[in-house]
Amino acid sequence: MLAALVLVAFGSLGSALTFNARDGASAGVVTKCVKPGQAAITLDDGPYNWHSQIADLLTSYKVKGTFFINGNNWACIYDKDRIANITYSYNLGHQIGLPSRLFLGSVTYPFEAHHTWSHQDLTTVSAERLDSELTLLTTAFERILGVNPAYCRPPYGNYNDTVVNAINAKGMTVMTWNADSMDSDGYTEPQSEAQYKQLLPSSDGSVIALNHETNPTTASTLIEWLIKELLNLGYELVTAAECAGGDAYQSVGQPQTPTAQWYCPSTN
């Protein structure tokens, strides 16, 4: 008992001395997978036009991926097509996850994770806006899919202690990436391939690859190239949650029936 108390006291003293605020935040942020040899293909900023197509592509290779979706960025999540798109990929995720669920006894392996309501830089918003950026999308998840997501990626990968604490307070873990295709920074598809060629073999044992489902050439070409490249390099393709060693969702229930409340507020 005494030993434990001493350890706890010593541990917190140690971290107070070792980390500055930014490092302290990073300590709670997932940037690589728990197991070497794993790779998570992540796709941000949807659901958008090619969402279901990308879900089909992953399925055709029998590999998993993760969509870090927004509520109101390129499109409103409550649009009929968008509801159909995430419902579609979510259901595919369950099918892909079935063997793991049966044999490993874990929860679910769906595709969707939290990327905030309207893609603001969370380090620049008010406390109220920070809260609504998280809450509005979690509500949409619960309505449309019946789940409460366990992983959140702050837009632009920008966070500070306030942001990390707010995300943690909603029960979510922060995840960024360690391999960026630069497909949202003007890289052409061949340039993104070249970038990955450099990054993938040297990334520290595992890969969290950042891509954007809103980029036409990412949807049409880059993701398929990336799947093949990762498989060639011997990586096991996993969801963001598996990569981080946790469950994808804090709770899993049933989708709700649409009501007049299912709309994107015009202030966003």
Chain residues that interact with ligand NAG, rule: CB under 6 A: 49, 52, 81, 84-85, 88, 122-123, 125, 130, 160, 162-163
Question: Shortest Cβ contact with ligand NAG: which residue?
Answer: 52
Minimum Å gap between C-beta 212 and ligand NAG is 15
Residue 67 or 235 with smaller CB distance to ligand NAG: 67
C-alpha span between 130 and 102 (Å, rounded): 38
Identify the CA nearest to 176 among candidates 40, 21, 24: 40
Beta pairing partners, 151: 173
Minimum Å gap between C-beta 146 and ligand NAG is 17
C-alpha span between 110 and 112 (Å, rounded): 6
Residue 123 or 191 with smaller CB distance to ligand NAG: 123
Residue 88 or 156 with smaller CB distance to ligand NAG: 88
C-alpha span between 208 and 131 (Å, rounded): 26
Indicate the residue type of 48. Y
Indicate the residue type of 115. H
Peptide bond connecting 47 to the previous residue in cis, omega within 30 degrees of 0 = yes
Minimum Å gap between C-beta 211 and ligand NAG is 18
Minimum Å gap between C-beta 217 and ligand NAG is 17
Residue 130 or 179 with smaller CB distance to ligand NAG: 130
